[in-house]
Structures are given as structure tokens and as C-alpha cells.
Amino acid sequence: MTIFIRSAKVAACAGVFSFLAACGTMDNMSTGGRTAVGAGGGAAVGAGIGALIGDSSKAALIGAGIGALAGGIAAYNWSGIKKDVQQSGATSLGVDVTEMADGSLRVNIPSSVSFDTGRYQLKPALLPVLDSVARAMNQHPELRAKAIGYTDSTGSAQTNQTLSVNRASAVTNYLNQQGVGQGRLMVEGRGPNSPIGDNATAEGRAMNRRVELYLYAPQK
């Protein structure tokens, strides 16, 4: 059984990297050296990588999420926008702004500075940070944003799923009110899935209650 599982992982790894190599070759031929994996392909690759991380469905889910987000994203110079968001109050609030390997810019918004427990109304302290994001999107119409809401594992699955969607929607609705077109904004709620902390501890649950806002430029 152990030999079979290891062989399956090796085969999956070979398949993933063969797929990546093929995509790179095709895109280099069609885009003059700019390599990009489409959304569907990116999700498939992500799921494969997730499966290699471990045998659990959670690992595969995380991989699929990474792949789906990465699909079709162009490389982008985030230095000016990142600095503006950080200086808007993000750093002092504990809002982490990170350039991701897939080419996107992630603004990780913890619930402690964004929402009261069990609610989805934005706290005033967060608004200057979102204002800076809206300003960047209005100045750079090629950019898009996707907000993904998460909760901890406390409470029912349905309640957490609804709360995660409502919190992500609160972020994109505010951006829309600041002039960002609704067609440039996406919302997803993942409830307690993809935790980044241990739900068995108060600190871990606090880490899991968050909205991740991704800015990206679609691949042309």
C-alpha cells in the first residue's frame, strides 16, 4: 500500500510538471515569451500540487485555490501601490500586504480591525486602507480585485459560509462605492475552509477570521 501511494504521488508530480512544461512551451510560442496558465489549467495544476503536499482533501483544496487565482494573471509592478496601501494605515493595523508568487498583491485583513464578532459591517479604522486600494484601482483600470472571506470553525457550517460571503461582499461593496466598477470585483466565501491558524486555540481562530483581498492584472 505504501509503495502504491508513493508511486501515485510520483506519477502525479510528473503529470503536473509535464503540464506546466507544455503550457510554458505553448504560451512562449503565442505570446512572445510571456508564460501564463489559464484559469482552468491553473486550478488543475494547483489541485495536483495540493495533493502532493499531503493526502488530505484540505491540502488539495488549498492547492486548487492557489491555482484558480493564479490562472491568467499577468506579472505586475506593485511597488508603488503596495507602499501606498501600507502607508494608509495597513501596517499599524496589522493588515499584511504581500506580493504573491502568482503575480497578485494580497491584502490580508484580520477581523480584529475590520469586523465585530459575528457581524459584517466594516469598522471605520479600516476604511483608509480600502480607500487606498480603491484609489489604486481607479488610477489603474487594468486591475481587478477578488475578496475571499474566511471564518473560524466555531458555529454551524451554513452560518460561517454566509458570514464569509457577507464580509467579502462588504469589502467589494465599499470599493464599488468609491468608484470601482462592479464588473472588476469578485467575491468568494470559504467559511472555515483553508485555515491559517489552529482552530483549537483562541489565537488560531482569530487568525482564521479574515478577508483576503487580491489585486491582479488579467493576462492579455
**Residue for cell digits 479600516?**
126
Considering only CA atoms, which of 137, 139, 140 is closest in space to residue 175? 137
- What residues contact residue 87 under an 8 Å CB cut-off, 6+ apart? 132
pLDDT reported for residue 220 = 80
Retrieve residue 134's grid coordinates: 480603491
Pairwise CA distance, residues 15 & 179, whole Å: 44
Retrieve residue 114's grid coordinates: 475590520
Q: If you count them, how many residues does the chain have? A: 220
The correct answer on CATH 3.20.20.70 for the domain covering 79-216 is: no
pLDDT reported for residue 71 = 55
In tens digits, the chain (220 residues) has pLDDT values of: 444 434 444 444 444 444 444 444 333 333 333 333 334 444 443 443 333 333 333 333 333 333 354 458 999 999 999 999 999 999 999 999 999 999 999 999 998 899 888 889 999 999 999 999 999 999 999 999 999 999 999 999 999 999 999 999 999 999 999 999 999 999 999 999 999 999 999 999 999 999 999 999 998 8
pLDDT reported for residue 58 = 39
Retrieve residue 75's grid coordinates: 506579472
pLDDT reported for residue 149 = 96
Cα 56 vs. chain centroid, distance in angstroms?
20
pLDDT reported for residue 116 = 84
Considering only CA atoms, which of 211, 218, 212 is closest in space to residue 184? 218
| CB distance 208 to 110 below 8 Å | no
Domain positions in the chain are: 2-70, 79-216
Pairwise CA distance, residues 141 & 163, whole Å: 30
Q: Give me the half-sphere count of Cα atoms (radius 13 Å) on the Cβ side of residue 189.
A: 19
- What residues contact residue 32 under an 8 Å CB cut-off, 6+ apart? none
